[in-house]
Amino acid sequence: MPADYSLPRDACSYGYFLLAPNRWDVEEQSLSRPLRLPGGVVHTQLTQPAGPGTPLTAATSRTLSSADKASLRAQVTRMLRLDEDERHIAGFHRLDPRWKRSGRARLFRSPTMYEDVVKTITSCNVTWPGTVQMNRRLCEVLGEAPPGGAGGFPDQARVARARPEMLRARCRVGYRDARLIEVSRLFARGVIRPAWFEDPSTPDDDVYDALIDLPGVGPYAASNIMQLLGRYSRLPLDTESVRHGRTVLGMKGSSAQVMRQVRTHFAPFGAHAFRSYWFEMWRFYESKHGKAWTWERDSTGKLFTAAHLNAPSRIRRVDAASVGHSP
């Protein structure tokens, strides 16, 4: 467990914390979602009762076996980046001291690479409400739910078996239907091996080349998946980058010209470029809407979508387990 870890700051650090099946509770300052464990899907609620720098607690909807606990620990560690190298973070703060005082460095992600890839594909060529909608419906339609709870993120094998017409009609994924099924098949068949992508000895360029070959993944998506893999040297440039370049950094020119300027602007941050870029953008969002951990899904969330996520999940039995790397 990192000594400086802050659940509100570090969980509410990337937009995926607002996407199903994740649910951030502003009042309780807790993060909830179903997780797939060896013994079945379980609803999990993460809190940090004693505040920043203290252990996280996981409340689950049933008693966990030791195998379940190990899997839960691994998935939470990935989501919250609890195992991120603290020397690497210190290096980031040395290079860009703007974030040293707040301690910002970790970026929220999914418990699996598969979920990150699907979430990235559902964020392409669509406005944010569309991304919210697609993820909500994917979980509702294809996600396995713990007893009495809402659906979790769909299993890759289940999406691999889905029919494109069904995905399009019920999950509203549009033309992404076949691409999502194909990428799910690649995961399900073991053609995509997350361990290879997550292995620090695999060169960034090799990872990028492999990602951009995936259906539905272009330059933006590949760069975004790379940051989700902990590889921060590339910037996923999109229309938001252009807006940021123009309104915050005062850049001029066509979209393509501004994108080039943004890339050049953050190049000095080298292996940490994405974090410098992202926290600058995040600070802008928070200047408009307040701190991200105060973003109510049903009020701030409605800035993104008219429909709201439903069915608050119920915790039937609490099995508290410390989560993190310290014993």
Using CA atoms, how far apart are residues 105 and 81, in angstroms rounded to an integer? 10
Write down the least CB distance from residue 45 to DNA, Å: 28
Using CA atoms, how far apart are residues 190 and 177, in angstroms rounded to an integer? 20
Q: Judged by CB under 7 A, does residue 253 bind DNA? A: no
Number of residues counted as binding DNA (CB under 7 A): 31
**Which residues face 23 on adjacent strands?**
32
Residue by residue, DSSP assigns 195-214 as HHHH-TTS-HHHHHHHHHTS
Residues in the chain: 327
Q: Judged by CB under 7 A, does residue 239 bind DNA? A: yes
Write down the least CB distance from residue 216 to DNA, Å: 5
Write down the least CB distance from residue 297 to DNA, Å: 14
Q: Is 258 exposed, middle or buried (0-12, 13-18, 19+ CB in 10 A)?
A: buried
**Helices vs strands, H then E, count in the chain:** 14, 5
Q: Judged by CB under 7 A, does residue 238 bind DNA? A: yes
Q: Which amino acid is at 106?
A: R
x/- site string to DNA, residues 110 to 149, per CB under 7 A?
A: --------------xxxx-xx--x----------------
Contact 234, 204 (CB under 8 A): yes
Stretch that binds DNA, among 61-69, 201-209, 210-218, 266-274 (CB under 7 A): 210-218
Using CA atoms, how far apart are residues 280 and 79, in angstroms rounded to an integer? 22
Query: What part of residues 43-102 is at the interface with DNA (CB under 7 A)?
Result: none
Nearer to DNA, 79 or 221 (CB): 221
Using CA atoms, how far apart are residues 230 and 109, in angstroms rounded to an integer? 10
Nearer to DNA, 93 or 179 (CB): 179
Q: Is 73 exposed, middle or buried (0-12, 13-18, 19+ CB in 10 A)?
A: middle
Contact 321, 45 (CB under 8 A): no
Nearer to DNA, 48 or 184 (CB): 184
Stretch that binds DNA, among 27-35, 49-57, 219-227, 312-320 (CB under 7 A): 219-227
Nearer to DNA, 58 or 113 (CB): 113
x/- site string to DNA, residues 167 to 206, per CB under 7 A?
A: -xx--xxxx---x---------------------------
- The correct pick among 67, 240, 299, 312 for binding DNA (CB under 7 A) is 240
Nearer to DNA, 162 or 222 (CB): 222
Nearer to DNA, 41 or 242 (CB): 242
Task: Count CB neighbours of 2 within 10 A.
Answer: 20
Using CA atoms, how far apart are residues 320 and 99, in angstroms rounded to an integer? 33
Stretch that binds DNA, among 61-69, 111-119, 144-152, 214-222 (CB under 7 A): 214-222
Q: How far apart are the first and last CA of the chain?
A: 9
Write down the least CB distance from residue 16 to DNA, Å: 16
The candidate with the shortest Cα–Cα distance to 193, out of 179, 214, 177, is: 214
x/- site string to DNA, residues 150 to 169, per CB under 7 A?
A: ------------------xx
- The correct pick among 52, 103, 194, 219 for binding DNA (CB under 7 A) is 219
Contact 151, 140 (CB under 8 A): yes
Q: Judged by CB under 7 A, does residue 275 bind DNA? A: no
Task: Return residues touching DNA (CB under 7 A).
Answer: 124-127, 129-130, 133, 168-169, 172-175, 179, 212, 214-222, 238-240, 256, 305-307
